[in-house]
Structure 1
Amino acid sequence: MSRMIFVNLPVKDLKASMAFYTALGFTNNPHFTDDTAACMVWSKAINVMLLTHDKWRQFTNRPIPATTSSEVMLALSCDSREAVDAMNNAAKQGGTADINPVQDLGFMYSRALTDPDGHIWEPFWMDPAAIPAE
């Protein structure tokens, strides 16, 4: 089996979160979806498990952080600057777009957004061939 990542996120409203991630370009895997969890697929290797708070607590008793705190920023590669912009614009439907200043380094372009529960995502585009030599 090839290596994969399943990012698990606690969410308050599963249906609203599913709609948000669908708008960003994720697809739902119904085999791992029920009333307590949804598997949202970004690629063959990247999946996001949206877990209701009750489901989340089956895995850990650690507190769910407030939406105003952050622990990680999850970066997703996009095919173009336009795709980064489209994902950021889609975040306005239920989440928050441009929570940080836009980063444009020429060879890399990124914008940061949050989902309805405050989880931070950073869609980015990069052209490795354009990275300046040191």
Structure 2
Amino acid sequence: MSTTATTSASQIFVNLPVKNLDASIAFFTALGFSFNPQFTDENATCMILGPNLYSMLLTHPYFAGFAPREIADSSKVCEVLVALQLESREKVDEIVSKAVAAGGATYNEPKDHGFMYQHGFTDLDGHVWEVFFMSAMPPSA
């Protein structure tokens, strides 16, 4: 498998529909994320995940204006897994604890794969967030 990309993106914006924008902003603020006020109004906000990494949280009506299909009911189906690499195992546990305290939920136990530690949570809308710390590259297959 080649690791040389022929296409390269400079930023990523993961667009997620939310039922209550203010509640979602409060939830993710409790986890320590911030928002770009230039891309925030009553319909949407731009959550800053890291350098050039963003999630646009869009109200259902606004999201529907962009989406080519019906919005998935994330309480019944998993439409996306958003995976975020964090700087330590402790940070993984911390963000999951903060998510649960802010009204989210865990859906599994933490997993230690040796080279990678992972856990996850669902946000107020049921979107799945995988958070992990990778201490080494995975073993070769």
TM normalised by structure 2 equals: 0.86
Identity %: 47
Q: Does 1:41 align with 2:70?
A: no
CA distance in structure 1 between the aligned counterparts of 2:132 and 2:72, rounded to whole angstroms: 25
Question: 1:1-134 counterparts in 2 under 5 A?
Answer: 3-66=10-73, 67-92=75-100, 93-97=102-106, 99-128=107-136, 131-132=138-139
Please tell me whether the aligned partners of residues 25 and 42 of structure 1 are also in contact (alpha carbons under 8 angstroms). Answer: no
SS in 1 for 2:10: coil
Q: In the aligned structure 2, how far is the partner of 1:95 from the partner of 1:71? A: 17
Contact kept? 1:108, 1:125, Cα under 8 Å: yes
In structure 2, list runs of 5 or more residues that go unmatched: 1-8
- For the aligned residue pairs, the C-alpha RMSD in angstroms reads 1.6
Shift of 1:21: 1.3
Q: How many residues align?
A: 131
1:49-99 superposed Cα distances (whole Å, 9 cap, x missing partner): 0000111111025111112210221110100000000110011112112x1
Return the alpha-carbon distance in structure 1 between the equivalents of residues 14 and 140 of structure 2.
34
Residue type of the alignment partner of 2:30: A
How far apart are residue 132 of structure 1 and its match? Answer: 4.4
Rounded to whole Å, the distance in 2 between the matches of 1:11 and 1:58 is 14
Deviations 1:1-46 (A, max 9, x none): x711000000000011011111222111000000110100011111
Q: 1:14–1:51: 8 Å Cα contact kept in structure 2?
A: yes
Stretches of structure 1 lacking an aligned partner (at least 5 in a row): none
SS in 2 for 1:70: coil
